[in-house]
Amino acid sequence: MIVLVGAAILAVVFGIVWMQSAQYELLTVGKPAPDFALTDLNDKPQRLSDFRGKVVFLNFWATWCKPCREEMPSMEVLHKNFEKDGLVVLAVSIDRVTTTKDIPPFIKGMNLTFPVLIDSWGKTDKPYKRMGVPETFIIDQQGVIREIVIGPRDWTRLDSLQVLTTLLNVTPKAADAQSLDGGARKG
Amino acid sequence: MNGQSDAIPEQQSPRSPAPRLGWEEFSRELVEFFASIKLAMFLFLFIAITATIGTVIQQNERPESYIQEYGENTYRWFLRLGFIDVYHTWWFTSLLGLLCVNSLTCFYKRFPGVWRSMKQDRVSVSLDFVKGMKQQAEVSIASSKEVVSQQLAQHFIEKGYKVLAKNDPGEVTIYATKGVLGRVGAHMAHLSATVIIVGGLIGTYYGFQEFGVCLEGQTYHIPRGNFDIKVDKFWIDYHENGSVKSYNSTLTVIDGGKSAVTKTISVNDPLVYKGIWFYQSSYGDSWDQVEVARVNIKDKATDKVLKTVDLEWHKEQAVADLDLKLSITDFVADFAFNSTEKKVFSKTVEHANPAIRLAVNERNSVQSTPWVFYQFPDLFDIKESKYQFELVAYKPKKFTGLQIAKNPGINIVWTGSTMIVVGITLSSFIFHRRIWMKIVPAPEGVTVYVGGTTHKSQIDFQREFRKLTDKLRTFSASPV
Amino acid sequence: MVRSLFLFDMTFWLYLAALTLYIAYLFARRPAMALAPAGHSTDNFDERDGAWATQLGQIATLITVFGWIVNTGALFTRAFERMQTSGTFAPWSNQFEAMAYVSWAIILGYVLLELRYKIKAIGAFVVGIGFIAMGAASLLPYRYQTAEPLVPALNSYWIYIHVSITLTSYAAFAMAGGLGVMYLFKERAERRGSTSRFYAAFPDLETIDELGYKAITVGFPLLAFGIILGAMWANYAWGGYWSWDPKETWSLIVWLIYGAYIHARMTRGWEGHRAAVYAIFGFLMVVFCFWGVNFLLSGLHAYA
């Protein structure tokens, strides 16, 4: 009888883990982007699903991350140029409670106007299989991931924007993609 | 309960004659103090606490970083107390030394007693002695004392005990003991502490540790060993996902003009020669050499890039259609100019402001050697030239970071380490047990009085003792 | 990697189930029955514990064993996964795996303890610690849970012996910590004159105390050996067997703390209450050495 009860518990545990097992699968292009609910800088709650119908540029960053800092101005350019075409630049900060206070001055100091969400509890860590910052997920209007970019990118370069422009159905003009710092990059 | 359950008192050896009575007492007190457990406990904890300091305060940093983090006042206190390099201060070393004295004194005081009790086993004990033991029992058996003695002796021999028996008129005394090696363990551990610390000191004073930045193809002289080391090759292996798997250097030892040993070293796999060890410690980008540099040749008139060439270090390349010959003669990772010596040098090892020096030979008439800056392409202009040169990209030459070390005390340290592990293991897992039995004739056979004691591990011994008494009860035909 | 994460998750839930059952056992045990004297092996559990408690206790043990088997499977699967992507396959190569291994060792230690002394009351405390270890592991961010290839410094056979032995010593100290907590609970109950069935299920204080001491005497030589193996590895990798980096220093600090404990036991007055508090304190130091050093202090040894 003991063995039966034991086997039953084993089966229940297996069932519980099985039902959640989708969470272990690696997140790849073509999979739906996991939904989340976070607050923005004005303490207003936002969900990823609120932006269904738009192309979402989901970027994970942190105030202590240097490449993120270098990448952000080009993200601001994207935001300014393509917001009218249906692009939402959503920057999710993964700063823990000790550094969340640095977020508003950071945003102000760089004159960034796109929405910023705060994930200080790491709720997006496991669903997005985050390995580091910055990481960018380009999500289409139906909430499906179309591109995953690990690491920073110059989002003003035309070759970075291929997937984005296809989704938004626009042709980027050379004037949109402005080089920001004037220097050549190390090859 | 645990520990001091020695039933046999130690013998005091006679000391020197009366006139030196004061010194005798004092030296006994001294030995007492230095061998004391309380001192050991204090030292263990105090060393632990002071060792914490070195993990919380960064060690061996530049003064500026301390002043920046803690302020000047606190920094001065750190200096005074030696917190900058805690583990090498005189007081920390003294604490370790005191620990040695403590363990050696304990050995001197206690080990002779253990050694003696290992050699002499006290079989003759009184009945009261047996009855007064912590674990004791009384069993009546309907059998003769010869048979019972035989069975008991057999029982203990089978269990690996050393058994001694004494036949007195009217009674038999049996003494069984096991695990005295466990008592030796602690003393071995105490000795080994000193061995390790001595080995460590020898290594610190007579050994050395140096770090060498070495380039592929170069030979370096090792003065302390009187031989040369040549770096034949250096390369990096990568995993599938792009992270570094291993970095390796092929080294050749040249002794007396001849190649003695060649070995490829990598992290965790060093080269040893004449007692000197060469470790693959790190690698990095060289600050004064590049492998390849990519240069754009722009037409000054149209500002269009005419050609892009990849130049190899110190290798002249002819660009035929432009009537141009180029080569890289120098490189600095962080350009700086020493105006007194009129020399260019690299300010730091960081690639903060990289620049190459190009040797330009144009139409065999214009010769110039400008510095071309990665971050400032328009900085220099060659007046007579038709072209403007830009450094677009480069592949730095990697250096291999070798750690060179010798430690003459290391075998002593390993010996001490083995001793301490063996010693502690013996002490933890082998327990010195002693059981006395007195078999006394009784009306219906014999009465067996059993008493036992253990140095450590009471509950296990209780179980064993209970099993013994249970077994005893089975010896008789009719159990009581 | 998916497979091993699945099995680790199952391990977590099974340990939770086992812990719940052991706690239930404590509540179900009949106080009227005479407590089996320490070390006295009894086959008649019904008589000792009462029908309900016996069954709960047996299921608890069974689930613990199941959990341990799944834990073993998870570690093996992770080893297999590592073998396919990098040179070494030690399933204790990052913080997550190390925690899972420590849980495995704690539970193994507990099962052996229960087999020998048949005191199921200890389950709530030791399996409790094992469960907390596994829980902490699953709360780690994703990047600590993956089976990424190792940096060159860790790419060596030394990882099999140095790390495993040191982690096993942590498990022993964790058990002693759990037993220390149990001791304090019982001591407080005795002082208040409690007659609740819950505390009656505990063995006597002397037994709890000695078992805790035993656990530390197992952990102490293992830690000594682990530190020395680490020094040997450092000698092969970094050219010096001791560089006083935070991890090395803290493991030495932990060793000294337990060394003081062992010497203290020979002094009157240091058994019982003080020893229990000390064991808990020592365990907290182990936790700092294991976690704190990796995440709070920087240095050559910060491999999380």
Give me the DSSP letters along C201-268: TSPPHHHHHHHHHHHHHHHHHHHHHHHHHHHHHHHHHTS-S----HHHHHHHHHHHHHHHHHHHTTST
Question: Which H helix or E strand runs over A109?
Answer: helix A103-109
In a domain, A103, yes or no: yes
pLDDT of res. A184:
38
Q: Do B374 and A187 touch (CB under 8 A)?
A: no
| Cα A58–Cα A144–Cα A28 angle in degrees, nearest 5 | 80
Token pair listed for B186: 């602690």
Q: In this complex, is the C-beta atom of B30 within 8 Å of any C-beta atom belonging to chain A?
A: no
Which CATH fold topology does B206-285+400-421 show?
Answer: Tick-borne Encephalitis virus Glycoprotein; domain 1 (2.60.98)
Nearest partner of A113 among A140, A85, A158, A73, judged by Cα: A73
Q: How confident is the model at residue B10 (pLDDT cuts 50, 70, 90)?
A: very low
Burial letters C178-202, b for 16+ CB under 10 A, else e:
bbbbbbbbbbebeeeeeeebbbbbb
In sequence order, what are the residues at sequence separation of 6 or more whose Cβ sits closer than 8 angstroms to the Cβ of residue C192?
none
* B279 vs B402: CA distance, rounded Å: 5
* A136 vs A61: CA distance, rounded Å: 9
Q: How confident is the model at residue C113 (pLDDT cuts 50, 70, 90)?
A: very high
Domain map (residue ranges) of chain B: 18-112, 121-179+431-473, 206-285+400-421, 287-395
Whether pLDDT at B315 is above 50: yes
* C164 vs C156: CA distance, rounded Å: 13
* C66 vs C62: CA distance, rounded Å: 6
Q: Transcribe B5-58 into DSSP letters.
A: ---SPPPPPP-S-GGGHHHHHHHHHHHHHHT-HHHHHHHHHHHHHHHHHHHHSP
Burial environment of residue B45 by CB neighbours within 10 A (0 to 12, 13 to 18, 19 or more): middle
B340 to B65, B334, B343, B357: CA distances (angstroms): 31, 18, 8, 20
Q: Do C271 and B414 touch (CB under 8 A)?
A: no
In a domain, A63, yes or no: yes
pLDDT of res. C214:
93
Q: Which of B264, B428, B469 to mutate to test the interface with C (most CBs of C within 10 A)?
A: B428
Q: How confident is the model at residue A182 (pLDDT cuts 50, 70, 90)?
A: very low
B418-457 pLDDT tens trace = 999 999 999 999 988 999 988 888 888 888 899 998 888 8
Query: In the block, which residue shows the tokens 């240091």?
Result: C270
Write out the residue range of the structural domain in which residue A164 sits: 26-40+51-168
Least confident of B39-53, B266-280, B360-374, C106-120: B360-374
B106-162 pLDDT tens trace = 998 888 888 887 777 777 888 888 888 888 888 888 888 888 888 888 889 998 898
| Cα B394–Cα B398–Cα B400 angle in degrees, nearest 5 | 175
- Determine the residue of chain C that is closest to B49 in CA distance: C253
B118 vs B460 pLDDT, higher one: B460
Q: How confident is the model at residue B415 (pLDDT cuts 50, 70, 90)?
A: very high
Question: Which H helix or E strand runs over B272?
Answer: strand B271-273
Q: Which residues of A touch B311 (CB under 8 A)?
A: none
Distance from CA of B277 to the nearest CA of C (A): 7
Which pairs from A150-156 meet CB under 8 Å and 24+ separation? A151/A67, A152/A67, A152/A68, A152/A70, A152/A71, A153/A71, A153/A74, A154/A71, A154/A74, A154/A180, A154/A185, A155/A71, A155/A74, A155/A75, A155/A77, A155/A78, A156/A74, A156/A77, A156/A78, A156/A180
Of B1, B59, B267, the CB nearest to C237: B267
Interchain CB contacts (distance < 8 Å): A and C: 51
Question: Is residue C130 within 8 Å of residue C114, measured between CB atoms?
Answer: no
Q: Is B104 helix (H, G, I), strand (E, B) or coil?
A: helix
pLDDT of res. B13:
47
Q: Do C62 and A132 touch (CB under 8 A)?
A: no
Q: In this complex, is the C-beta atom of B390 within 8 Å of any C-beta atom belonging to chain A?
A: yes
B419 vs C304 pLDDT, higher one: B419
Least confident of A118-127, A156-165, C18-27, C162-171: A156-165
In a domain, A46, yes or no: no
B160-181 pLDDT tens trace = 898 888 888 888 888 999 888 8
In sequence order, what are the residues at sequence separation of 6 or more whose Cβ sits closer than 8 angstroms to the Cβ of residue B9?
none
Q: How confident is the model at residue C43 (pLDDT cuts 50, 70, 90)?
A: low
Q: Which residues of A touch C85 (CB under 8 A)?
A: none
Whether pLDDT at C159 is above 50: yes
The CATH number of the domain holding residue A105 is 3.40.30.10
Of B377, B390, B393, the CB nearest to A186: B393
Q: In this complex, is the C-beta atom of A16 within 8 Å of any C-beta atom belonging to chain C?
A: yes
Least confident of A84-88, A130-134, B237-241, C16-20: B237-241
The total of structural domains in chain A comes to 1
Whether pLDDT at B220 is above 50: yes
pLDDT of res. C79:
94
Least confident of B357-361, B366-370, C17-21, C185-189: B366-370
Taking only residues 76 to 135 of chain B, the set having a beta carbon closer than 8 angstroms to any beta carbon of chain C reads 87
Whether pLDDT at C19 is above 90: yes
* A152 vs B164: CA distance, rounded Å: 81
pLDDT of res. C299:
54
In a domain, A70, yes or no: yes
Average pLDDT over residues C140-156: 86
Q: Which residues of C touch A129 (CB under 8 A)?
A: 142
- Determine the residue of chain A that is closest to C14 in CA distance: A13
pTM of the model: 0.85
Question: Is residue C145 within 8 Å of residue C151, measured between CB atoms?
Answer: no
B317-355 pLDDT tens trace = 888 788 888 889 999 988 888 888 888 888 888 888 889
Of B294, B377, B390, the CB nearest to A187: B294
Of C152, C213, C242, the CB nearest to B266: C152
pLDDT of res. A75:
92
Q: Do A132 and C143 touch (CB under 8 A)?
A: yes
Of C5, C10, C58, the CB nearest to A13: C10
Which residues, listed in sequence order, are joined to residue A88 by a DSSP beta bridge? Answer: A56
Task: Note the CATH number of domain B121-179+431-473.
Answer: 3.30.310.80
Taking only residues 288 to 327 of chain B, the set having a beta carbon closer than 8 angstroms to any beta carbon of chain A reads 294
- Determine the residue of chain A that is closest to C57 in CA distance: A2
* DSSP-derived secondary structure letter, B142: S
What single letter denotes the amino acid at residue B42?
F
Taking only residues 10 to 49 of chain B, the set having a beta carbon closer than 8 angstroms to any beta carbon of chain C reads 37-38, 40-41, 44-45, 47-48
- Determine the residue of chain B that is closest to A186 in CA distance: B393
B23 vs C41 pLDDT, higher one: B23
